[in-house]
Amino acid sequence: MPIEFKTPGAIQQVVSMAQMVAEQVMRPKAAYYDEHEHEIPWEYINMMWPIVSQSPLLGADDSRNGHGEAERKRSPITNVRLIHIVEMLSWGDAGQYLCTPGGNLGAAAIAAVGTPEQKRRFLSRFQGEKPAWGAMAMTEPQAGSDTSAIKTTAVRDGDFWVLNGEKIFCTGGRLALEESNGLVVVWATVDPKAGRAGMKPFVVEAGTPGVTVTKLEPKLGIRASDTASILLQDARIPFDHILGSPEVISDTGGEKGFKGAMKTFDATRPIVAASALGIARATIEYVKHLLNQEGITIRYGAPLHQLSAVELEVMDMEAQHRAAWLLTQKAAWMMDMGLNNNLEASMCKVKAGDAVTRITQKAVEILGPLGYSRAHPVEKWMRDAKINDIFEGTGQINRLIVARRILGYTSRELK
């Protein structure tokens, strides 16, 4: 049987819809929201909500029932379809894409380790009448990639948990807590002496007393998206808002919550890679368009020694993009097949983050002063691109994960 690489019709249909949104809504306003950081793109949000609430992009599908039926009936192209949609929306504008309403990282964490009842209760809000957002808060001023350094505490008080601490760099934190009936999954420790075994994820709903958005981070790129700092001061949440077991047992239940929620990233890292590659594709297409206007075409069939320097550079940009896209599709396909994609998720994240950084930087170089100016969008795409090499695990951390999986080392053995 021949191998078929054509995009399935079911996927192409939704991609065409996303392309319409990207071309007609996102692209025309991309420069505006870049210049007006943190102004919420309501036109895009209101257009996307009816679509997302009926066909959630991430995680919230599991809220439609509580007995595992969603997982059993899941389409075999759920994640492959998702990365195609994300790629197209990021081709439109990565900053506005990150404002897409829905469960996002918060829903993905709940879907990964929440009980059936928790999935029903928390994720149903992402099919409501009004836009709602989910987010995840893990990073702290002293704890970035080293998650074991988290200091936010969760202390049990009868039928409640009391959370205290500060979270930073929470993507969509303002949208989740201040602009909707949303939620944030907050990582806290129930036992500071237990390291990662004491770390647990807690669902903190919008409107919870003691939870405050204290700052919106000014950023290099993705400026339409809010990146929030969140302060938790004696925030009381119900006992059953903890995801996973509250027990601290190093070899079983204690790390089940941590390891289970970490599988969130196996699902979301291909999505980040897809977003990066939407920016990369936009950049390559734009550069080729400008070169064509100057009478420069890429001669793909010409002998190597006859090619100009700019032709070789564009071909390399395309090769980097295609290699990363194939890795990303494989990681998403493995998720759809129910296969462990931990290695492939990190590989595609590393490759896409590196590729989009190189591609956008090279585009600025090829266009020279025009590329550096704001007369063209390539300088914006270069700024938008870099975050994809940083969030959802930095390139360095994901390289560590890849090395551990290939060489068979644990995190204690290879740091």
Percentage of the chain with pLDDT > 90?
A: 74
pLDDT one-digit tens code per residue, 83-97 = 999 999 999 999 999
| Cβ proximity of 280 and 87 under 8 Å | no
**Domains of the chain, each with CATH number or no CATH:** 9-102+114-127 (1.10.540.10), 134-250 (2.40.110.10), 263-407 (1.20.140.10)
For residue range 193-249, list pLDDT tens digits in order: 888 888 899 999 999 999 999 999 999 999 999 999 999 999 999 999 999 888 876
Within 10 Å of residue 184's Cβ, how many Cβ atoms? 29
Give dist(CA 44, CA 273) in Å, integer.
22
Whole-number pLDDT of residue 3: 60
Residues marked active site are found at 392
Residue 71 is predicted with a pLDDT of 44
pLDDT confidence tier of residue 65, bands split at 50, 70 and 90 = very low
The one-letter code for the residue type at 235 is: A
Q: CB–CB of 248/197 below 8 Å? A: yes
Q: What is the pTM of this model?
A: 0.92
pLDDT at 64: 45
Which band of pLDDT confidence, cut at 50, 70 and 90, is reported for residue 57?
A: low
Distance between CA atoms of 114 and 95, rounded to whole angstroms?
A: 29
The confidence score (pLDDT) of residue 244 equals: 82
The C-alpha atoms of residue 334 and residue 319 are separated, in whole angstroms, by 23
Using one digit for the tens of pLDDT, what is the confidence trace for 369-404?
999 999 999 999 999 999 999 998 899 999 999 999
Report, as an integer, the average pLDDT of 158-171. Answer: 97
Q: Answer yes or no: is pLDDT of 4 > 70.
A: no
In the structure encoding, which two tokens stand for residue 349, read together? 């994240």
Query: Residue 170 above 70 pLDDT?
Result: yes
Burial class (CB in 10 A: 0-12, 13-18, 19+), 286: middle
- pLDDT above 80: residue 303: yes
Residue 254 scores a pLDDT above 80: no
Q: What does the pLDDT read at residue 352? A: 98
Would you put residue 38 in left (φ > 0), alpha (ψ -120 to 50) or beta?
left
User: What pLDDT sits at residue 263?
Assistant: 76
Q: Over 225-282, what HEC string results?
A: CCEEEEEEEEEEEEHHHECCCCCCCCCCHHHHHHHHHHCHHHHHHHHHHHHHHHHHHH
Q: Are 99 and 175 in contact (CB under 8 A)?
A: yes
Q: Are the C-beta atoms of 107 and 134 separated by less than 8 Å? A: yes
Taking the CB of residue 292, how many other CB atoms lie within 10 A of it?
Answer: 11
Averaged pLDDT of the chain:
90
- Do the beta carbons of residue 173 and residue 204 sit within 8 Å? no
- The pair of three-digit structure tokens given for residue 264, joined into one six-digit string: 């969130």
Kindly tell me if the per-residue pLDDT of 256 is higher than 70: no
| 56 within 8 A of 126, measured Cβ to Cβ | yes
* All residues at 6 or more sequence positions from 285 whose CB lies less than 8 Å from its CB, including other chains: none
Q: Is 364 exposed, middle or buried (0-12, 13-18, 19+ CB in 10 A)?
A: buried
Over the stretch 98-135, which tens digit does the pLDDT of each residue have? 999 999 999 988 988 889 999 999 999 898 889 999 99
CA distance 169 to 136: 10
pLDDT digits (tens, 9 = 90+) for 328-345: 999 999 999 999 999 999
Comparing 42 with 75, the larger pLDDT belongs to: 42
Confidence check: pLDDT of 75 > 60 = no
Q: So what's the pLDDT on residue 376? A: 95
The pLDDT assigned to 186 comes to 96
Model confidence at 2, in pLDDT bands (50, 70, 90)?
A: low
Residue 62 has pLDDT above 60, yes or no: no
pLDDT of residue 112: 84
